Amino acid sequence: MSQASQKTVLPRIEASLLSLEKLNFRYRGPFETPRGKHILLVEGCILTQAEIMELHERGMLNAESIGRLLSDLKRIQGM
């Protein structure tokens, strides 16, 4: 990732992660995959950094939306 794109992504992901913290969702990461994709482990589910930022930017990073998304992911993943 170029320095210019890092400068724009960093504040966006920081704001997104701060929102997760305020909602008391446990997360780990971000981690970088061998192919360069950035992922986070949120309440036991893997989400991409881009997904988290998009939810935040669309105003959907709230307890209800995240809870529903994680519930759906856990059902799909057989957890």
Query: What local confidence, expressed as pLDDT, does residue 4 receive?
Result: 43
Query: What local confidence, expressed as pLDDT, does residue 39 receive?
Result: 94
Query: Which pTM was predicted?
Result: 0.74
Q: What digits encode the pLDDT tens for the residues 4-63?
A: 444 566 788 888 899 899 999 999 998 999 999 999 999 888 999 999 989 888 998 888
Angle between helices 49-57 and 63-76 (to 10 degrees): 150
Binning pLDDT at 50, 70 and 90, where does residue 2 land? very low
C-alpha to C-alpha distance for 44 and 10, rounded to whole angstroms: 23
Tokens of 8: 């724009």
3-state secondary structure of 35: coil
Binning pLDDT at 50, 70 and 90, where does residue 79 land? low
